[in-house]
Amino acid sequence: MTALQVGYETFGGSRRKAVTLICLMLSSSLAAAITVYVDSYSMHKWDELVEIGPVAMEIGGAGVEHIADGVAEIDGVTDIAIFAAAEGSVTAIGTGGQPITWSASVFRYDQTLMTHFGNVFVLNKGAFPSATDEIALSAEIAQETDIDIGDLVNYTRGEPGIGGSYVMTVVGLWEFSGNSGSFHYGWQIAMVTGSMLDPRTDDSYLWIDVDRSRVSAFNVQGSLDYLLQIEESIRELDPTYDPDRDTGSRYWVNDGLRSGITNYASWQQGKRVAQLFRAGGPILLVVLTLFLAVRHNMNERRYESNILISRGADENKVRNMVYKEIMILAALSTIVGLGLGALLSRVGVMSSDYFVFRWELFVNEPFLISIESLALSAVAGILVPFGAILAYDYVYRIRQTAEESTGKLAKLTRLLGFVKWDVLLVSLTGIALIAMLATGTALQLNPLLRFFSNMILSLAPFALFLGMASLFIKALRAGANRISNRMEGIFGSIPSSVGIRRIGRAASSAGPVAMVLVLTISLAWSSAVIGDSLPLTKMNQARFTFGGDIRFDLDALNSFADANATEFVQNCTLHEAYVAGAELSITERMLSTGYYDAADLVAMDPSDYLAVGYDYTGQPLNESPLSSMLMELETSPMGAIISQDIAEEYELSVGDSLRSYGTEGGNVSVFTFTIIGIYEALTNALLSDTSGNIWGYYGAGFGLRTVWVNRGYLSQFVNFTTESRNMYAMRVADSSNTTEVALDILEAAGYQSTDGDDSANNDYADVDSEVRSYIGTTDYTMDRAVDTMLTIATTLVIFGAISVYAAEGLNSRRREIALMRAMGAGKRLIVKTQATELLVLTLSSIMLLLVFAPLLIVTTGLSQQTSYIIYPIRFFFSVPYGTLSLVLGFFLVSVTLFVVAVSSLATRIQLSQSLNASWSEGGPMGGDG
Amino acid sequence: MLNDDYLISVDNVSRIYRVGEVSVEALRGVSLDVTEGEAIAIMGPSGSGKTTLLNLIGALDRPTSGSVRIDGMDITKMDEKDLTAVRRDKISFVFQFFNLLPVLSAYENVELPLLIGGIEENARKERVDHLLELVGLTERAEHRPDELSGGEQQRVAIARALAKPKGQASSVIVLADEPTGDLDTRTGEEIMQVLRELTHTEGGTLIVVTHDPEVGQQMEKLYTMRDGTIVNVS
């Protein structure tokens, strides 16, 4: 009998190499997908930051006009013109009839300049000055004064009071086109003819443009180097310039193009790092799969290695030979991975939310692979596998050394082997997580603790997962027999005994496969839940913050619309979407005589507000525990509902008296209330957005230091018009768009939005626009798109891992199949046996999934930051069961199809060949280990 | 030379393997007849075609030309389904390296052919217990292969070879390829004795491929092969 079939490594080698290539490809494609997505997405940012108009650089310095020819000859400079500016001021009559003076920079109108860079300016009206008594004003100042063509203004050369004054006729109104003004320091207010510039303060500058085809987002560093070279060449036109001797150049360069590119690069880098950090879970998946691939290679080549070692080859050299082959495969896989990653990035580009696609974006959106992306993907494609090899080598050597050595360290290592690290890891991480979750918002109040708790929340699930997975593998190993006995009734005797028990025997590779499956589905579920929960969180926070669906700041609106509050409120009630409304008057009072410990007293008509507001859990007040308290407040005008923190600080309980102090007009007034209710948090309806500010007051917690009181009672002591902020909160019909309703009402009241940007207005706030502006942010869009992309990428990881598992034991699997066939087992029984093994592995994974996934979802949810404001509930979980089922179904169907394919292929063997080959493999030299 | 009295009748069988452009003629017109209950040995140097012949008789492979009849049925013309039935009901293998399923106990390994054959539980148990007793492994029934010595594993393999459904042990053809090749001399002798005796006791037919002349001498007939042909019968 021959010991080894001819061509053994040739055939087995190509299969092994294919499987390894697939696994290795994952790291480069994952890195490429993220970086290429960010690159492509960043093209909009590139356009925004780098489109600075026709002037690329402005050059200044004494006598700069004399180097114009030298600058023009510098490689890359395509256009040049001299322009002059001096100090000056313009005085005109404002809209209120009073004179207004602007002092800033005044340009000289120059025909040559206009020929070269005329499109820097956009002439809104009229013409540029052509006579000494003509002036063209910046449209910006013209707007403030209602100046128009033909009007007269007073122009003073130089500083006011020093230079001569001239009455000039306004002949034109201009502004900079796009971002064209960004290259020039200072503020420009007017343009006059050359002789009208102040000769004492006038300065000349050079405006230049450069060959922009050599500037590209593809090669940011190359672009920067190119621009820096031009800058340096300009500085070198000063013969005294010698940077080695710290002698500066008299010429300075304001490189608008370079600062645009620099801003772009830092924005892009920030996004890349943020997204790569978010991909921690998938990266762990890839590392696990790579570890499997390395292990598979070592096992598959064990026979060959043993032969070489038995013939005197150095063991290290043989192992290095295997490693070298893996690294060559890694280099090859990087190229394929880049292509796959680029394709995946398009999936990200067309995602507008988690698995919500706008298909046309696949083609329409820009596509960019920058040099950095290529480099990063190549590094990931090569370094990550190298890391997996080092990890495998380390584990292998440690185990071998510890097994063979008799020294103290080896004894200690063996001793540590008895310590159940997985139990320890699960216990410690579990305790840390429970402690953290139990502290509620307490940790959030301290920025440093908040940072660390978020770090722990992000990392702990994965540490916990490793521990749980290790225990799971042990359970598989120990429990396979028991499971096989129990499953006999379902799958039959042979599939159960042969198929299921094989899982126990191959637990070292079956376990990681299960881990990959569990982690992948958990990540996909987590992404789905987070994607669904973030808008809900924002909505509930907005409802709580604003005190209703829409909240109008009556004081601010009054000053604009000259309408009284009563009319405005009546106007609100007339809208078809109106459900209920309530006026809230908020006044700040002290809760002690020490002039500190202020609290917001929110005065309301309790029965009105009951139908309008929401509590901090997002529940409508009429359905929340606050309902009964508000009804009591209605009947007990002297009552007060206080926030929990006040009750704790002053050790107050229901029935106690609460005194508040005011100091209007130097007199101290004291109001006393009877506490009728204490609630975790109460809104003061003062904020007009929920984003907050990192250093803002509400970092201490929104909804605290608040007291709700009866409006009728407080009105006896407080003049709401002069002593409080007045808001009108509204509830609208469920199907209504709160933004549309708010704008309808404002329009009906004659109110004009000042800048058209809803979110910038503090005069009103509405829930829909708050949610919309949140989910419209770049970060939100990118996060959801990357989540979509990563979900698809991790599916590929599953296939990679199962391929390794299937290939890992292929020889022993074939031997078993051949044996069973030789005993007369039909193909159907063989397929059933193979399928049972993989299905039970999948089912076991689902059990682990049901434990791990909720944990990952909760911790991921709690580590989300939706606001700098600390809310009592930082995250509202919404479980999209449909999507979750879809995700699970997708994975199960994919895995099942894969299992069926693997099972069917495994039975397609040449019986005599497999048996003859396997007869040798069953012996002492062979086997899969 | 067709004769339905023979349990196995190999007639003018050739087997050509193609490896790329090269054709290797492993068997060249081999003919051989074995009667029921007979014990024969096939000897010859490596590459002489012994294993190829065994594969053809065991329905693991098909000849390029010629026929192989088992119990009067030409298995070279059978489809895969019928071949499976022949393997299940008529043929057993004993391998050099035992080839027990590592996840099953000794008992379960012996039970496996009966399970495949659909034998009901009580009959199965009775048969497995009997066979394990015959090979002297009743006490080791629950042990896994890696807990057994080489000799013990081969005994389990012999018991498994004789465990056939429908109680048709009388017609079982045991094909053994170097059954003592991985055992020391003494254990090898014991194993051959068990194999020979049990096959005889159970009424089976035994074909052993071996390099070992002593093993060959123990058989009723000895065929010697060289270059794909039978060169001597003694």
What DSSP line would sit under B61-116, residue for residue? Answer: S--SEEEEEETTEEGGG--HHHHHHHHHHTEEEE-TT----TTS-HHHHHHHHHHH
* Interface residue A448 vs chain B (CB under 8 A): no
Does B60 sit within 8 Å of A829, measured CB to CB? no
- pLDDT greater than 90 at residue A641: yes
Most distant CA atoms of chain B, gap in Å: 54
State pTM to two decimals.
0.75
Q: Which of B93, B108, B182 sits opposite A497 (nearest CB)?
A: B108
DSSP secondary structure string for all residues of A605-661: -HHHHHTT-B-TTS-BGGGSTHHHHHHHHHH-TTEEEEEHHHHHHTT--TT-EEEEE
Query: In this structure, which long-range contacts are made by residues A235-244, counting pairs with CB atoms below 8 Å and at least 24 apart in sequence?
Result: A237/A67, A237/A70, A237/A71, A238/A61
Q: Which of B89, B96, B182 sits opposite A824 (nearest CB)?
A: B89
Q: Average of pLDDT values for A257-266? A: 92
Chain pair A-B, CB pairs under 8 angstroms: 86
Q: Average of pLDDT values for B41-69? A: 89
- Rounded distance between C-alpha atoms, residue A88 and residue A132, angstroms: 15
Residue A883 sits at the vertex; the CA angle it makes with A882 and A885, to the nearest 5 degrees, is 65
- Rounded distance between C-alpha atoms, residue B49 and residue B30, angstroms: 10
What is the predicted pLDDT for the residue at A407? 61
> Strand runs (DSSP E) across A295-417, as ranges?
351-353, 356-357
- pLDDT greater than 70 at residue B18: yes
* Interface residue A2 vs chain B (CB under 8 A): yes
Residues of A in contact with B81 (CB under 8 A): 826
Residue B172 sits at the vertex; the CA angle it makes with B166 and B177, to the nearest 5 degrees, is 140
Q: For A1, name the nearest residue in chain B, comparing CA atoms only.
A: B46
The two beta strands, A669-679 and A639-643, are parallel
Does B117 sit within 8 Å of A1, measured CB to CB? no
Does A822 sit within 8 Å of B60, measured CB to CB? yes
Residues of B in contact with A922 (CB under 8 A): 95, 97-99
Q: Would you give the DSSP letter of residue A178?
A: T
How does residue A297 score in pLDDT terms, banded at 50, 70 and 90? confident
Residues of A in contact with B113 (CB under 8 A): 823-824
* Interface residue A543 vs chain B (CB under 8 A): no
C-alpha distance from A853 to closest chain B C-alpha (Å) = 32
Does B96 sit within 8 Å of A919, measured CB to CB? yes
ipTM score? 0.88
Does A915 sit within 8 Å of B60, measured CB to CB? yes
Q: Which of B98, B103, B113 sits opposite A824 (nearest CB)?
A: B113
What is the predicted pLDDT for the residue at A545? 94
Contact between A782 and A271 under an 8 Å Cβ cutoff? The reply is yes
Contacts of A328 (CB under 8 A, 6+ apart): none
Q: Which of A2, A505, A922 sits opposite B99 (nearest CB)?
A: A922
Does B85 sit within 8 Å of A819, measured CB to CB? no
> Token pair of A811, please?
């020889």
What are residue A81's DSSP bridge partners?
A207
Residues of B in contact with A912 (CB under 8 A): 55, 60-61
In three-state secondary structure terms, B117 is: coil
What is the predicted pLDDT for the residue at A178? 64
DSSP H/E element including A488: helix A447-491
- Rounded distance between C-alpha atoms, residue B204 and residue B34, angstroms: 12
Contact between A803 and A293 under an 8 Å Cβ cutoff? The reply is no
How does residue A292 score in pLDDT terms, banded at 50, 70 and 90? confident
C-alpha distance from A497 to closest chain B C-alpha (Å) = 7
Q: How far is CA B215 from the centre of its chain?
A: 15
Which of B103, B111, B128 to mutate: most A Cβ within 10 Å?
B103
Give whole-number Cα distances, A85 to A124, A428, B1, B40, in Å. 21, 69, 118, 115
A421-438 and A827-862 helices cross at what angle (nearest 10)?
A: 40
Does B116 sit within 8 Å of A504, measured CB to CB? no
> Token pair of B158, please?
């012999």
A6 burial level (CB within 10 Å; 0-12, 13-18, 19+): exposed
Residues written for chain A: 929
Residues of B in contact with A494 (CB under 8 A): 112, 115-116
Percent of chain A whose predicted confidence (pLDDT) is above 70:
86
Q: Would you give the DSSP letter of residue A242?
A: B
How does residue A666 score in pLDDT terms, banded at 50, 70 and 90? low
Does B115 sit within 8 Å of A820, measured CB to CB? no
B50 burial level (CB within 10 Å; 0-12, 13-18, 19+): buried
Q: pLDDT tens digits for A723-757?
A: 889 999 999 998 899 999 998 888 887 766 544 44
Does A824 sit within 8 Å of B87, measured CB to CB? yes
- Rounded distance between C-alpha atoms, residue A316 and residue A320, angstroms: 6
Average confidence score pLDDT of chain B: 85
A755 burial level (CB within 10 Å; 0-12, 13-18, 19+): exposed
Q: Which of A816, A824, A826 sits opposite B101 (nearest CB)?
A: A816
What is the predicted pLDDT for the residue at A444? 62
Does A1 sit within 8 Å of B19, measured CB to CB? no
Contacts of A611 (CB under 8 A, 6+ apart): A579, A580, A582, A621, A622, A731
Q: Average of pLDDT values for A389-418? A: 63
DSSP secondary structure string for all residues of A37-53: HHHHHHHHHHHHHH---
- Rounded distance between C-alpha atoms, residue A26 and residue A332, angstroms: 12
Contact between A345 and A40 under an 8 Å Cβ cutoff? The reply is yes
> Token pair of A673, please?
């209330």
A810-822 and A911-921 helices cross at what angle (nearest 10)?
A: 120
- pLDDT greater than 70 at residue A296: yes
Q: For B19, name the nearest residue in chain A, comparing CA atoms only.
A: A6
Q: pLDDT tens digits for A843-898?
A: 888 888 898 899 889 888 888 888 888 888 889 999 999 989 988 887 788 777 77
- Rounded distance between C-alpha atoms, residue A607 and residue A753, angstroms: 32
> Comparing C-alpha atoms, which of B58, B61, B64 is closest to residue B23?
B64
Q: Would you give the DSSP letter of residue A174?
A: E
C-alpha distance from B125 to closest chain A C-alpha (Å) = 14
Q: pLDDT tens digits for A353-397?
A: 888 888 888 888 888 888 888 888 888 888 888 888 887 777 766
Contacts of A474 (CB under 8 A, 6+ apart): A422, A507
* Interface residue A829 vs chain B (CB under 8 A): yes
Q: Average of pLDDT values for A197-204? A: 86
Residues of B in contact with A6 (CB under 8 A): 19
Does B96 sit within 8 Å of A923, measured CB to CB? yes
- Rounded distance between C-alpha atoms, residue B75 and residue B58, angstroms: 10
C-alpha distance from A915 to closest chain B C-alpha (Å) = 9
Q: pLDDT tens digits for A764-798?
A: 899 999 999 898 888 888 889 988 988 888 877 77
